[in-house]
Chain A
Amino acid sequence: MPPRETGAGLVDELIRERWDYFSGVPCSLLKGAFSRLENLAADEPASYLPAPREEVAVAAAAGAYLAGRNPVVLMQNSGLGYCLNTLTSLLLIYRIPLVLIISWRGHGADAVEHVVIGEAIPRLLDDVHIAHRVMDDVHGAVSWSTAKATETRRPVAILVKEAI
């Protein structure tokens, strides 16, 4: 089990790496990260947009990038289904760098609604050419995504398997 403050640490590390525009739809596994985002101080160099659907978060990320911001979107893997088209027909072809933080429900035994997507998620990301890796340590995952997203100007994904 990662320590309870990992979620906040992840957001801090992303902000340190100049990711400054956050949006997403919550997942219980990402509770700590969302709690940090909901409590961003006014003088921090980052903002958070609570989205009603994952494709809204991903589209907002594109709009923020046009304005010179560096976007991050957090979601449950179920939400990848909702936003897949926004990724394939907007961010991927317009070459917009984005860090996706995706909780990986259903990678093992889990509630039935997570089983199908949980099994498919790495393949699904591979199929649309979104580089991904499981978050082992926060620092490693963030510096990998920063380098990869910047270098390829594409979305990249960090998969989170445990509550952070």
Chain B
Amino acid sequence: MNEASPARVLAELVRALPDALFVSTCGYLSRDLQQVGDGPNFFYLVGSMGAALPVGLALARCAQRERVVVIDGDGSFLMGMNCLPLVGAQAPANLVHVVMDNGMHESTGGQQTAGNACRGVTAAMSAGGYPHALLVEDVADPVVREALGKPGPTGIHLPIAPREAIAPRIAPEPEELVRRTRKLIANNRSNHPGEVGP
């Protein structure tokens, strides 16, 4: 299999959904995302491994006008799996959950994740109630864009290659990440009034 680099996969996802809010898990994935081109629509977790999905879920439910994309690694996904049925039950149509799977905890030195547990990523998402959950080898596959066009929650499981280089740490202070994302959402809301909250 010819897996893509995480940088290329993330760049492709951002290109496909340029206005979406991205919530990324801790470790290298957030750093890779920052390299794509930092901005207020990127909310990086520097810690709280496994928390990207519940952060993204609440964000999607409370800002229904926004498209929210959660970026998980396979290790982070396994840590936050208890949340899948909640996502299914809440059924945010505006949520996309991407699992970038390199079969390891690369950020901490490449230790293996739970064996082959990740073979079941899309099965777990479907069991949790995601209406769409797909495993795709190539992020450029038209099925990805097609899936992104449908109401979610949508799960996408993407195998990725190990990194060739390590991206720099997250530059903005955590407080600044909150401030800028809140501002972006508030501005979007005042430009399009009439949003209903859950």
Query: Given A49-B58, A52-B82, A94-B177, A59–B51 Cβ distance below 8 Å?
Result: yes
- Chain B: minimal CB distance from A133 (Å): 25
Cross-chain contact A66 with B54 (CB below 8 angstroms): no
Chain A residues whose CB sits within 8 angstroms of the CB of B174 once the complex forms? 93-95
Interface size on B, residues (CB 8 A): 36
Query: Given A60-B57, A62-B58, A90–B47 Cβ distance below 8 Å?
Result: yes
Chain B residues whose CB sits within 8 angstroms of the CB of A62 once the complex forms? 51, 55, 58
Instruction: Give the complex CA separation of A121 and B116 in angstroms.
Output: 39
Cross-chain contact A66 with B47 (CB below 8 angstroms): no
Chain A residues whose CB sits within 8 angstroms of the CB of B7 once the complex forms? none
Given B23, B45, B59, which contacts A64 in the complex, CB threshold below 8 Å?
Answer: B59
User: What mask results when residues 27 to 70 of chain B are scored 1 for a CB within 8 Å of chain A, else 0?
Assistant: 00000000000000001011110110011111111110000000
Instruction: Give the complex CA separation of A64 and B46 in angstroms.
Output: 18
Cross-chain contact B58 with A94 (CB below 8 angstroms): no
Cross-chain contact A68 with B185 (CB below 8 angstroms): yes
Interface centre among B26, B57, B177, B178 (most CB of A within 10 A): B178
Question: Is the C-beta of A14 less than 8 angstroms from some C-beta in chain B?
Answer: no
Instruction: Give the complex CA separation of A63 and B181 in angstroms.
Output: 10
Query: Given A56-B82, A66-B182, A68-B189, A86–B62 Cβ distance below 8 Å?
Result: no
Which positions 95-113 of chain A face chain B at CB distance < 8 Å?
95-96
- Chain B: minimal CB distance from A41 (Å): 13
Chain A residues whose CB sits within 8 angstroms of the CB of B143 once the complex forms? none
Chain B residues whose CB sits within 8 angstroms of the CB of A49 once the complex forms? 58, 61, 86, 90
Question: Is the C-beta of A37 less than 8 angstroms from some C-beta in chain B?
Answer: no
- Chain A: minimal CB distance from B131 (Å): 20
Chain A residues whose CB sits within 8 angstroms of the CB of B182 once the complex forms? 65-68
Chain A residues whose CB sits within 8 angstroms of the CB of B57 once the complex forms? 60, 63
Question: Is the C-beta of B198 less than 8 angstroms from some C-beta in chain A?
Answer: yes
Interface centre among B54, B182, B197 (most CB of A within 10 A): B54
Question: Is the C-beta of B16 less than 8 angstroms from some C-beta in chain A?
Answer: no
Given B55, B85, B86, B186, which contacts A63 in the complex, CB threshold below 8 Å?
Answer: B55
Chain A residues with CB under 8 Å of chain B are 21, 23, 47, 49-53, 55-57, 59-69, 85-86, 88-90, 93-96
Contacts A59-B58, A63-B54, A66-B43 given; 9 further ones with Cβ under 8 A? Answer: A52-B83, A56-B54, A64-B62, A66-B181, A67-B59, A68-B189, A86-B48, A86-B51, A89-B47
